[in-house]
Structure 1
Amino acid sequence: MITTMQRRSWLASANGHPDFPLQNLPLGIFSHGDERRRGGVAIGDQVLDLGAAVQAGWFEGLAHTAAHIASGPSLNAYFALGAPAWQALRRALQVLFDQDSPHPQALAACLVPMSECHMHLPAQAGDYTDFYVGIHHATNVGTLFRPDNPLLPNYKYVPIAYHGRASTLCVSGTPISRPHGQILPPGESVPVLAACRRLDYELELGVWVGPGNTQGQAIAIADAPRHIAGFCLLNDWSARDVQAWEYQPLGPFLSKSFATSLSPWVVSAEALAPFRRAQPARPAGDPAPLDYLFDPADQQGGALDIELEVLLLTERMRQQGTPPQRLGLSNSLHMYWTVAQMITHHSVNGCKLQAGDLLGTGTLSGLQASELGSLLEMTLGGQQAVVLDNGEERRFLQDGDEVILRARCRGEGQVSIGFGECRGRVVG
């Protein structure tokens, strides 16, 4: 009997594709040849136009309902359907694209070359919350400002987060304008309004919320997975000099609200299931999570093994035709809190989550210098430059720099899947 991981597709480009084999099938919103936005599925180097496939009669029952709703101009309504509908559509797609499908030529008429598609945000996010669950990043940043006490006492009890700006979420490829804000120059006591001089990236995962909860009713941690619609890559661009001046006492404001880049494809929890792992054990002496944040099943399989990569393409590299340089290679296993714990804590006060809300994990750095997810950490707050292979130096991002995030899931006996790219180029 052929297992899901052994299945191959009649679409040749899907077999061995680094991101979008038959085992992935992420959804997104695209346009092609016009401005009409509609839902599609990434498969190999093609995009399945869900609306065209629905009109051609390729789906039945719950899968038909899910495909029809996902074919619209955003995935909000699809996210609200919940796991049974998502899973029905996924099963139907796997059958349609299986190498033994009886109608590959007819289905091929519903495919569009991915290279010809323009991608859009998958959903309209009503709210965006950015967490701080990467403990090594939190420790590294804390050390820069509080060498003797890098983590505040609440960190290991509370999944720390702040509310971001949903209106400036932008899809991969959107140019990033260098922000302005108040900056306190070194040695001065009065701030100035100026362009950010310490622009940074942050390597994160994004979590799309599925069905929401009623205001006033918390989401129990055992139920939290039902509220996860899927995952993407997220770059939380950061103006470090603006941030240093404004963040006390209420945290980030203009230093974060100018732009947050997202990869366009939503990778489902079902596609990531083979890469679930036990949550890494807390160091000896760390407190156990409070009861509302503890679930044995979540501890046994609530973490994800996703390789996270950040690369930099400078203007000089672009002119010389050289490839981008890797700056860091980390993993989502460096999360101190699971996604379920994030969702549960977010709602414990009765906060209403809604389909299409977005959560960021916070920067996911590792322990080693090669695993850092921000320039702030790599340069020790700008004290030392990163020397690139071509001789260029960076303490923070310059105009023309393009930051590229990638992600990959690998496992013994498993077909590797990816997230596509999350790109953003800094403009003056």
Structure 2
Amino acid sequence: MTDTWVEEAAGSLFDVDNLPYGVFSRAGEEPRVGVRVGDLVLDVAPVAAAEMLDVHHVFQEPSLNPLMAEGRQVWGSLRTWLTGLLTDETERDLVEPHLVPVADVTLHLPVEVADYVDFYASLEHATNVGRIFRPDAEALLPNWRHLPVGYHGRAGTVVASGTDVVRPAGQRKAPSEDAPTYGPSQRLDIEAELGFVVGTPSALGSRVAVADFADHVFGLVGLNDWSARDLQAWEYVPLGPFLGKSFATSVSHWVTPLEALAAAWVDLPGQDPTPLPYLADGSPRGLDIAVEVEIGGQVVSRPPYSSMYWSPAQMLAHMTVNGASLRTGDLFASGTISGAEREQRGSLLELSWGGREPLADGRTFLEDGDTVTLRYTAPSASGGRLALGEVTGTVVPAV
């Protein structure tokens, strides 16, 4: 990597080996695409117009969807161009006037979400949840090691980091109760996850192979799948999550391009039995991404994404194996990231073991006023680390 002339960025978690995309606006101006470098946002549209790029118009749009729809070849070319702008001293006079402090802009939801699918790809998380919810049965259901289990969520309630989360209400029934009651969730939880954003669509009736993952996935976001565990426990049999999940899913403002994570790929811990051929990937690849979960200013967990059982490419292949088409802006998530140790569990359900083992501060689930922040870092091409976009949300009382 060539050093950047942007002094605020050099050596930071947002150096030129990162360059995530987002959507920003300034007072009195329309939202448009920007690229983060250090604690600055590059307003790309005027620079692209000045250099007469064929795709300069995509940077004037209020979402990343038009840019993502251009496809992998364009994504790579733009990344090379942006890196050159920020490392070549001769480009400084052109670029520097269009660098704006992050603190001076408003950040928006970066993607117009088409469909949202959430998976259940951590062996440790699935095992823990099975033991908590079904203590007298096998922790894993018979299908779990054969396919990436998932559910189709609600795209319309995917919100940008910083959006308040209203405590959901609904039906809940404790095992000791004879009948369900209605009211605000008493067991509101978080799930520390990664989200994968689709750029290139696929045709209805076709399938996306494991090997074609990078042709379709534009980048990654941090993701918090807020969960109402009491609503979930009562509703999820036999069809799975519904109202316990659909009230809010928070994603980061910044989308980290897949190319920025080239140094983060690692082998998965192992899969047994061997997956069916359409899921076979030789040596399935995961990502060495470290996650930090902070609640009320205190770090409560550090889940490792490298411990996941199912790979991102396998999730995408399974999601389309029946011929379901991809659309630009589709979002699919990893499911809760949990490791083998207690301090690596990515949800309060697991950290408090279903509410029976309070955390050090006495909490079991989220209280009104709690602010949750998820942070992510990964190895960078320069040998250091880069940051993915963080995700923050504050719980406000039920209406």
Q: Identity across aligned pairs (percent)?
A: 44
Q: What corresponds to 2:370 in structure 1?
A: 401
Distance 2:338 2:212 in 1: 28
Aligned partners of 1:188, 1:238: CA distance in 2, in Å? 21
**Counterpart position of 2:304:** 331
Residue 378 (structure 1) shift: 0.6
Choose which of 81, 94, 99 in structure 2 pairs with 1:106. 94
Counterpart contact for 2:5–2:89, Cα < 8 Å: yes
Give me the whole-angstrom Cα distance separating, in 2, the residues matched to 1:121 and 1:66.
Answer: 22
Aligned residue pairs total 396
1:13 aligns with 2:47: no
* Inter-CA distance 267–66: structure 2 relative to 1 (3 Å threshold): farther
Matches within 5 A, 1:178-193: 178-185=167-174, 187-193=176-182
Give the whole-Å Cα distance in 2 for the aligned partners of 1:156 and 1:328: 26
Aligned to 2:22: 28
The aligned amino acid for 1:311 is E
| 1:279-306: CA deviation from partner (whole Å, max 9, x where unpaired) | 2223xxx21010011122xx26x31111
2:298 matches 1:305: no
In the alignment, the residues of structure 2 paired with residue 233 and residue 421 of structure 1 have an alpha-carbon distance, to the nearest angstrom, of 6
Distance in 1, Cα, partners of 2:84 & 2:77: 11
State the AA in 1 paired with 2:6: L
- One-letter amino acid matched to 2:389: G
The list of structure 1 runs, each at least 4 consecutive aligned residues, that deviate by more than 4 angstroms after superposition, is none
Indicate the residue corresponding to 2:205 in structure 1. 216
Query: Alpha-carbon deviation of 1:103?
Result: 2.9
| 2:44 alignment counterpart | 50
User: CA contact under 8 A between 2:18 and 2:380: conserved in structure 1?
Assistant: no
Aligned residue type for 1:120: H
Residue 118 in 1 paired to residue 106 in 2? yes
Cα separation, 2, equivalents of 1:158 and 1:55: 46
1:186 Cα deviation after fit: 5.1
**1:321 corresponds to:** none
1:175 deviates by 0.4
What amino acid does structure 1 have at the position aligned with 2:290? E
Residue pair 2:261, 2:379 contacting (<8 A) in 1 also: no
Corresponding residue for residue 255 of structure 2 = 266
Q: Secondary structure at the match of 2:24?
A: strand
Pair 1:353 & 2:326 matched? yes
**Mapping of residues 22-421 of structure 1, within 5 Å:** 22-34=16-28, 36-57=30-51, 64-98=53-87, 100-147=88-135, 148-185=137-174, 187-282=176-271, 286-296=272-282, 299=283, 302-313=285-296, 324-388=297-361, 393-410=362-379, 414-421=383-390
Helix, strand or coil: the match of 1:303? strand
Give the superposition deviation at 1:56: 2.7
Q: What secondary structure is seen at the aligned counterpart in 1 of 2:84?
A: helix
* Aligned match of 1:317: none
Q: Deviations over 1:311-366 (max 9, x none)?
A: 011xxxxxxxxxx1111111111221111111111111010111100001000100
Give the TM-score, by structure 1 length: 0.90
Q: Relative to 1, partners in 2 of residues 1:65 and 1:21: Cα closer, same or farther, differing over 3 Å?
A: same
Aligned residue type for 1:197: Q
SS of 1:12 mapped into structure 2: coil
Q: Which amino acid aligns with 1:162?
A: Y
1:318 corresponds in structure 2 to: none
- 1:26-76 Cα deviation digits (max 9, x unpaired): 11111111351100000011101111212332xx6xxx2344313311111
- Residues 103-138 of structure 1: per-residue CA shift (max 9 Å, x gap): 313311111110111111111111100000011100
**Change over 3 Å in CA distance of 1:412–1:231 after alignment to 2:** closer
SS at match of 1:419: strand
- C-alpha separation between the residues in 2 aligned to 1:65 and 1:294? 39
Structure 1 counterpart SS, 2:303:
strand
**Does the Cα contact within 8 Å between 2:255 and 2:389 map onto a contact in 1?**
no
Q: 1:412 to 1:45 in 2, by over 3 A?
A: closer
Distance 1:407 1:67 in 2: 30
Structure 1: tracts of 5 or more residues without a match: 314-323
Give ranges in structure 2 of 5+ residues lacking alignment. none
Q: For the Cα contact (< 8 Å) 2:68–2:199, is it kept in 1?
A: yes
Shift of 1:82: 1.3
Cα-Cα RMSD: 1.4
Q: Check whether the contact 1:50–1:68 (CA below 8 A) recurs between aligned residues.
A: no
- SS for the counterpart of 2:89 is coil
> Which residue is equivalent to 1:316?
none
